[in-house]
């Protein structure tokens, strides 16, 4: 089985953090998120991975190489001159994804789903596409996936049946797909609106699988900081990561002044510095940055900028 990581997005909501770095390459507790995702795929036995590229493709190519150092094999699908959207990006990579069931994962979330369970549920359902979803109290407001008692998707965002018996969930950005999805995909556009919504309208074989693992969006500076703080403190538990006992991460080569104080959840990345008398609460000091003043809920950047969220 192969997998595709969607990594072409511009990351506009995360600027300035994504001005020079694709969003999936941003580290969460000192490890690029796309590297965490690949490690999780490898643990699930998936070692052939496709990555689509658009924004700063050279950064991801340099970070990942051919995948050998990560124990996987990587093929790149570059989208140029324009980005193609989730549906168009998957369609463009068709020749790289093989002839069997494959998995697609968004590169912009900290999430380690139970892929074995998702694939098993998908195969037993006979669906051509399965959306991995999660429980969320804001599902109705944010655009819900409504599923019936047989886990068939009957409502998607504003499309489909309004039924009292539907359980409403949020989509995680993880898909399990059959090759039969390819003729339904738009050449340029979103897989949800271009392929899934028409399937819902005609009662097609679109299913959902509920995953109960922790999920952190990385779409804004606030949510990105919260993911770092949550993971380091242990309040967010992700497969493959064990938080430090003190709930504070200090990366390799970081320099801490003896008089500084780091509150729970603070992350000081590799080669970063924290100055004398500085007190940090729920902060991220990025690689090479210098935290020279006390702060809370702040990201310190290597170029001297501070982002308070």
CATH number of the domain residue 110 falls in: 3.90.550.10
> What is the predicted pLDDT for the residue at 25?
95
Residue at a domain's end among 158, 181, 216 = 216
- Are 185 and 262 within one domain? no
Q: What angle do CA 162, 140, 148 make, to 5 degrees?
A: 45
* In the chain, % of residues over pLDDT 90: 82
In a domain, 183, yes or no: yes
Is 233 within 8 Å of 250 (Cβ atoms)? Answer: no
Residue 245 counted as domain residue: yes
Among 186, 216, 246, give the residue marking a domain's end.
216
Could you give phi then psi for residue 117, rounded to 5 degrees?
Answer: -65, -40
Q: Is-contact 199 258, C-beta < 8 A?
A: no
* Distances, alpha carbon 307 to alpha carbons 133, 177, 220, in Å: 31, 39, 11
Pairing state between β 129-134 and 206-210: parallel
Residues of the chain with pLDDT under 70: 142, 164
Domain match, 201 and 246 both: no
SS3 18: coil
Q: Within a domain: residue 263?
A: yes
Cβ(3)–Cβ(102) below 8 Å: yes
Tokens of 185: 């995909």
The span from the CA of 134 to the CA of 136, in Å, is: 6
Please tell me the distance from the alpha carbon of residue 177 to that of residue 66, in angstroms, as a whole number.
Answer: 24
Gap between the Cα atoms of 192 and 286, Å rounded: 34
Would 67 be classed as within a structural domain?
A: yes
Cβ-contact 176, 142 below 8 angstroms: no
Residue 198 has what pLDDT?
Answer: 93
Are 122 and 208 contained in the same domain?
Answer: yes
| Statement to judge: residues 15 and 118 lie in one domain | yes
For 92, the enclosing helix (H) or strand (E) is helix 85-92
Q: Which of 188, 216, 244 is the last residue of a domain?
A: 216
One domain, residues 233 and 100 = no
Q: Domain count of the chain? A: 2
pLDDT at residue 162 in the model: 72
Asked if the structure places residue 166 within a domain, the reply is no
Three-state secondary-structure class, residue 128: coil
Could you tell me if 46 and 180 lie in one domain?
Answer: yes
* Tens digits of residue pLDDT in 264-288: 999 999 999 999 999 999 999 999 9
- 241 occurs within a structural domain: yes
Burial of residue 104, with CB atoms counted within 10 A of its CB: 0-12 exposed, 13-18 middle, 19 or more buried: buried
Q: Kindly report the CATH number assigned to the domain that includes residue 250.
A: 2.160.10
pTM: 0.93
> Which domain does 97 fall in, by range?
2-131+172-216
The tokens for 56 are: 């700063």
181 inside domain: yes
């Amino acid at each position: 089985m192969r997998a595709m990581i969607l990594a072409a997005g511009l990351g506009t909501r995360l600027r300035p953090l994504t001005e020079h770095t694709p969003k999936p390459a941003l580290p969460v507790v000192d490890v690029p998120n796309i590297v965490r995702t690949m490690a999780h795929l490898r643990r699930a036995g998936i070692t052939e991975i496709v990555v689509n590229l658009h924004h700063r493709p050279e950064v991801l190519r340099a970070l990942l190489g051919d995948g050998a150092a990560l124990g996987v094999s990587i093929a790149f699908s570059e989208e140029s001159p324009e980005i193609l959207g989730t549906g168009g990006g998957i369609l463009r990579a068709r020749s790289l994804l093989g002839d069997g069931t494959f998995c697609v994962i968004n590169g912009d979330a900290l999430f380690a789903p139970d892929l074995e369970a998702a694939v098993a549920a998908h195969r037993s359902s006979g669906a051509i596409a399965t959306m991995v979803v999660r429980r969320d109290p804001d599902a109705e407001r944010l655009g819900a996936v409504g599923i019936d008692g047989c886990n068939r998707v009957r409502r998607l965002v504003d499309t489909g049946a309004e039924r009292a018996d539907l359980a409403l969930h949020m989509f995680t950005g993880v898909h399990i797909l059959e090759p039969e999805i390819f003729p339904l995909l738009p050449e340029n556009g979103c897989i949800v609106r271009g392929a899934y919504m028409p399937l819902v309208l005609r009662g097609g074989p679109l299913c959902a699988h509920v995953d109960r693992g922790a999920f952190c969006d990385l779409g804004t500076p606030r949510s990105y900081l919260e993911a770092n703080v949550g993971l380091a403190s242990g309040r967010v538990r992700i497969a493959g990561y064990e938080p430090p006992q003190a709930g504070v991460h200090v990366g390799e080569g970081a320099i801490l002044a003896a008089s500084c104080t780091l509150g729970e959840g603070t992350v000081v990345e590799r080669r970063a510095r924290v100055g004398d008398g500085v007190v940090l609460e729920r902060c991220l000091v990025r690689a090479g940055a210098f935290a020279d003043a006390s702060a809370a809920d702040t990201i310190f950047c290597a170029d001297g900028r501070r982002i308070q969220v």
